[in-house]
Amino acid sequence: MLTVEGIVFSYGVRLVLDSISLEVAEGEICSIMGNNGAGKSTLLKCILGVLRPRAGVVYLSGDDASRMARMELARRMGYVAQRDGQGARLTVFDAVLMGRRPHIGWAAGARDLEVVEEVISELNLGHLALRHLDELSGGELQKVMIARALAQEPGILLLDEPTSNLDLRNQLEVMETLGRAVEERGIAALMAIHDVNLALRFSRKFILLCGGSVFACGGPEVIDEESMEKVYGVKVEVETRGGLRMVVPVSACCVAGVNGERKGTRDGERV
Amino acid sequence: MALTESVRESYRVYTRRKVLFIAGVAVATLALGVFSMTLGSAGVTPLEVLKALVGQADQRTAQIVVHIRLVRVLAAVVAGIGLSVAGCIMQGVLLNPLASDYTLGVSQGAAFGAALAIVAMGAGSVQSTGADAVIIRNPYLVTVAAFVGAISATLAVLVLARYKGISPEAMILAGIAFGSLFSAGTVITQYFANDVQVASIVFWTFGDIGRASWQELAIMSAVTLPVAAYFVLNRWNYNALESGDDTAKSLGVNVGRTRMASMFLASLITAVAVSFLGIIAFVGLVSPHLVRRVIGSDYRYLIPGACAMGALLLLASDTLSRTIIAPVVLPVGAITSFMGAPLFLYLLAKGYRRA
């Protein structure tokens, strides 16, 4: 289980995250939503320990992450970056094997190869195992990166927009793959995502970031006309179809949302 | 490949091919080494070379083979390993396929440091005769000075690398600027030498393996081999860095320390090679790329592969430089430039995607 308490982060004098707290349980995907620059990626990087927050604590299954050694942290928490691994002349197998790095002493052992093989077949990447990353499509590459994070055997998984730049079919495939892996392995997954409907379909918990703090947090019920207008600055209609909520955008509001002034800020530049 | 069993098996076959390639290059280097020792004005057969190496030949042959030619071959091998592995690591930690000791100006910095030590700090002397224009009396001081020169170029590169947006070409342009600056410094330094001769100015401009003696070979090996071992130890970290800093950190890599330490040690290797042999351009660029082409950029295999390939390339270049218009010995740096410059242009033309 992932517990985050009171994360505060600023780039210089500009406050990006103002006391963010959240909780993700095992086997659950939690979506972080908000406009560009709302601090989604920054929050993930603070939890990951890549950025150092000014205040706040991250607990991994109750243990304080700031007291863990680098490798210990890497064994317990995986990360899938927004754009990743392109251009490296590595095979899929090698890229997934990289996920074993926190577990490997001197050389990759039989157990490491076994884990890699299992993950590869679980994600249906077997036919690509010896292909180079620079020969893969966007969807395949994204699945390989998820496979690498799963090979890490983490209890917690952080994903930064895993479906951006993917076509419709690949968006669904990647999310289905992720959903299955999270459920079967009992991973607590925290995911920054732009596509509201995709989030509604595949996650059970939602955190709406706005103006550096949590605007709303909870189940699908927090996604409604009012919250969408406040957070995204967009008028929407929310419908229910087949038991699932769906958001249909109508128009951009004349007055941008609360966090309109944050557009194009650091978080956006750093992706 | 539909069966899960075959995935691991075909991966094993795939990695075995890489090992075979590296072994092949190593064996070729060994054979070329023996062959290279047979070449020269005093005709020696391969059999005599082998006999001399195990102490079974007559004194004259032993003298030539062991004391003249063996040291040269070994110096080419060690310098080749050093320059190549340094280039390989620089390309990796800077995420820049055009990086190498020469293209970043590190070699030129080392040459300037060495020149300054010899001329201004009295660590040696500059003579007027062509071939042995420079006599090094204090190899340690020269190496240290070369290292200071190399590290100043490296620090400049690392400062540039901090600006995340800097493109690979911009970094190389900066490297060329540093390189020119240091080269100009080297030339001017030598004009202040007691015996000013044009020949001596060429000393560091185009490196020559023949300058190494046993002592210098020993110092080069003592630096190069442990550093290469350190690089091998960090191979997983270099692999992780390929996926970007954040991902590498999430895999438990201390990104900042790995980058700094690796650049520092790569500069150190470059500095010892340059201070004794002069600038040997493009080996550090060409051989890692050749190996990447064949076996990919998995550093577990790339590092040993680049070591073997660097040794082979420099030895081949040196053999060529001794024989192409014998008895005149060309500086090996000129030969490697002939080989490396076209590849550099090719990489630029191809759009320097990391291959």
Task: Name the fold adopted by B14-349.
Answer: ABC transporter involved in vitamin B12 uptake, BtuC (1.10.3470)
Domains and CATH numbers, chain A: 2-222 (3.40.50.300)
pLDDT of residue A257: 46
| pLDDT, tens digit, 9 for 90 and up, residues B90-142 | 999 988 888 899 889 999 999 898 888 887 776 666 654 444 556 666 778 88
In this complex, is the C-beta atom of A135 within 8 Å of any C-beta atom belonging to chain B? no
pLDDT band at A259 (very low <50, low <70, confident <90, very high): very low
Domain boundaries, chain B: 14-349
> Would you list which residues of chain B are within 8 Å, Cβ to Cβ, of chain A?
1-2, 4, 7-8, 10-11, 14, 236, 239-240, 242-247, 249-254, 292, 296-298, 353-355
3-state DSSP of chain A: CEEEEEEEEEECCEEEEEEEEEEECCCEEEEEECCCCCCHHHHHHHHHCCCCCCEEEEEECCEEHHHCCHHHHHHHEEEECCCCCCCCCCEHHHHHHHHHHHHCCCCCCHHHHHHHHHHHHHCCCHHHCCCEHHHCCHHHHHHHHHHHHHHCCCCEEEEECCCCCCCHHHHHHHHHHHHHHHHHHCCEEEEECCCHHHHHHHCCEEEEEECCEEEEEECHHHCCHHHHHHHHCEEEEEEEECCEEEEEEEEECCCCCCCHHHCCCHHHHCC
Residues of A in contact with B253 (CB under 8 A): 70, 101
Find all residues with CB under 8 Å of A162, minimum gap 6, and list them: A80, A142, A146, A174, A175, A178, A191, A193
To the nearest whole Å, the CA of A59 is away from the closest chain B CA by 16
Which of B11, B240, B244 is the closest to A93 by Cβ? B11
Q: How far apart are the first and last CA of chain B?
A: 26
Which of B4, B250, B296 is the closest to A117 by Cβ? B4
Q: How far apart are the first and last CA of chain A?
A: 27
To the nearest whole Å, the CA of B3 is away from the closest chain A CA by 8
How much is the mean pLDDT over chain B? 85
Tell me what the mean pLDDT of segment A80-89 comes to. Answer: 73
| pLDDT, tens digit, 9 for 90 and up, residues B312-355 | 999 999 999 888 887 788 888 888 888 778 877 877 777 555 44
Quote the ipTM score: 0.86
pLDDT of residue B82: 96
pLDDT of residue A89: 78
Cα distance between residue B266 and residue B197, in whole Å: 32
Tell me what the mean pLDDT of segment A160-165 comes to. Answer: 88
Contact A48, A23 (CB under 8 A): no
Residues of B in contact with A77 (CB under 8 A): 250
Q: Is residue A65 over pLDDT 60?
A: yes
Q: Is residue A88 over pLDDT 50?
A: yes
> Is B7 in Cβ contact with A50 (below 8 Å)?
no
Q: Is residue A271 over pLDDT 60?
A: no
> Is B4 in Cβ contact with A129 (below 8 Å)?
no
pLDDT of residue B23: 97
